[in-house]
Structure formats: C-alpha cells, structure tokens
C-alpha cells in the first residue's frame, strides 16, 4: 500500500481530484511512522491522511461497526440478544481496528454474533447504511470537499 501515496501528488498535478478520497483512504492503511517518513507526500497531505485515519475510526465505531461496540437489540428481538451477544473482539483487536480502520470493508461473520434473525437483520442494515454513509462522506473526511459532486469545485478554490 505504500506505493499508493504516489497517486496523491499525481492526482493533484493532473487535476484528477476525484481519485483523492479513495487514495487517501488507502493511505490510511499505512502505519503512522511510514506516513510521516514518506518522502512523496507533502506535510499537508500527511496531516490530511493522519486526521482522516482518526475520522475513519470514528465512523467505524459509530456507524459501520457499532453493533460490535454498543449493541442495541431490535425492538422485536425474539431471544434477548443483548444479554447473550458474544464479544468477538478482545481489546487488542479493537486497537488493531483503531490503528488501521477499514469502515468500508464488509463485515461477513454474522453467525459468530449468535443473534436472532431480527437483531441480525437490524445489525446488517446498520452496517450497510454505515458503509454507504462513509462512502458518501469520504471526501469530507479528508477535507477534500463536502461531497463527491463538488470535490472538483472545492479543489479549484
């Protein structure tokens, strides 16, 4: 993933700003030390990447993976799921998620949560809606524009 950083200055030089949100997203999977030591990125782009990494973690916590951190059972829960939901991740696993947030990645291990169908459906819907929200807000998470539609306008100003 460290080679992806080359896309950021190239996109800026060739006025292809629509690739920047995705390029920054991919760069957030690079370690903080590697981002800081990178000779290709400007300090401004390094700052955008690091700040974006924190914003992605917030999005992952509260929108895409909230069911893992703050489970709310469905109003029509058939099995009192909130009392028996396993905590599949240990503290060190959450730290890995924080260091390397990936809120656009689809969660697929629903069966290990041991939820009733209603709670699982609600969690899946929340996860899908959260991923859509992250995608829509990706430009703003990196201060590249308010939306995908106006990213070009914001880059010109």
Residue range 126-148, pLDDT digits in tens: 999 999 999 999 999 999 999 99
d(C-alpha 122, C-alpha 60), whole Å: 17
Residue 47, pLDDT > 50, answer: yes
Q: What is the mean pLDDT of the chain?
A: 88
- Contact by Cβ (8 Å): 127, 107: yes
pLDDT band at 84 (very low <50, low <70, confident <90, very high): low
Predicted pLDDT of residue 113: 85
Predicted pLDDT of residue 68: 84
Span 80-99, average pLDDT? 72
> Domain boundaries in the chain?
2-156
Q: What is the pTM of this model?
A: 0.89
DSSP class of 138: H
């Amino acid at each position: 993933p460290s080679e992806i950083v080359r896309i950021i200055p190239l996109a800026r030089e060739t006025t292809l700003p629509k690739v920047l949100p995705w390029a920054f997203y991919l760069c957030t999977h690079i370690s903080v030390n590697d981002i800081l030591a990178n000779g290709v990125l400007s300090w401004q782009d390094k700052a955008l990447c690091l700040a974006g990494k924190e914003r992605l973690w917030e999005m992952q916590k509260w929108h895409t993976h909230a069911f893992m951190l703050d489970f709310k059972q469905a109003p029509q829960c058939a099995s009192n799921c909130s009392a028996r939901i396993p905590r599949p991740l240990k503290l060190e696993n959450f730290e890995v998620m924080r260091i390397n947030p990936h809120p656009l990645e689809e969660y697929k291990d629903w069966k290990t949560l041991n939820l009733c169908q209603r709670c699982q459906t609600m969690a899946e819907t929340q996860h899908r809606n959260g991923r859509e929200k992250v995608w829509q807000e990706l430009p703003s998470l990196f201060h590249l524009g308010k939306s995908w539609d106006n990213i070009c306008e914001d880059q010109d100003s």
